[in-house]
Amino acid sequence: MKIVVIQGPNLNMLGVREKQIYGPMRLEQIHAQMKEVAEQNGVEIEFFQTNLEGEIVDKIQECYGEANGIIINPAAYTHTSIAIRDAISAVGIPTIEVHISNIHRREEFRKVNMIAPVCASSIVGFGPFGYHLAMMGMLQILSELKAVHDAQMAAQAEA
């Protein structure tokens, strides 16, 4: 199984920018923790960060047929990107959206979320711990999908 973690604009500046909102943890530290959880569960994990919307769309499309799950923080594109929304919808891969801050308690424009309706779940406001919650959620989703697949295969073998 493979999970791809896609990080949007300015997340490469975690630990530097607006620490009062995003905290002191750097993206590399978050990824190290996620990698540890993936290894403990026998799951391959890949990380990708870009500040460019089109590169996020390309990465989502590259996941088709290659990844079992996507964890994404589209950052500011959450509020504006129909292209990212459409890409997630097109690939049909279970996707969990993560936001470090609680976007629902921030500026009015951040309350618009183009991405959530095409995701299995959204995790907001837990700081960097939200990525751990996303990993646990994705592992559960993939486990359930595997159980359904295995049951269908067993039923076909009996038929």
Catalytic one of 99, 104, 131, 149 = 99
Average confidence (pLDDT) over 22-42? 96
Q: Are 117 and 81 in contact (CB under 8 A)?
A: no
> What SS3 string covers 116-128?
HHHCCEEEECCCC
- Domain spanning 2-158, CATH architecture: 3-Layer(aba) Sandwich (3.40)
Residue 99 annotated as catalytic: yes
**Cα–Cα distance between 114 and 67 in angstroms, integer?**
22
Task: State the pLDDT at residue 112.
Answer: 86
Q: Each residue of 121-154: pLDDT tens digit?
A: 999 999 999 999 999 999 999 999 999 999 999 9
List, for residues 34-87, the tens digit of each pLDDT value. 999 999 999 999 999 999 999 999 999 999 999 999 999 999 999 999 999 999
Q: What is the pTM of this model?
A: 0.93
Where along the chain do its domains lie?
2-158
Catalytic status, residue 64:
no
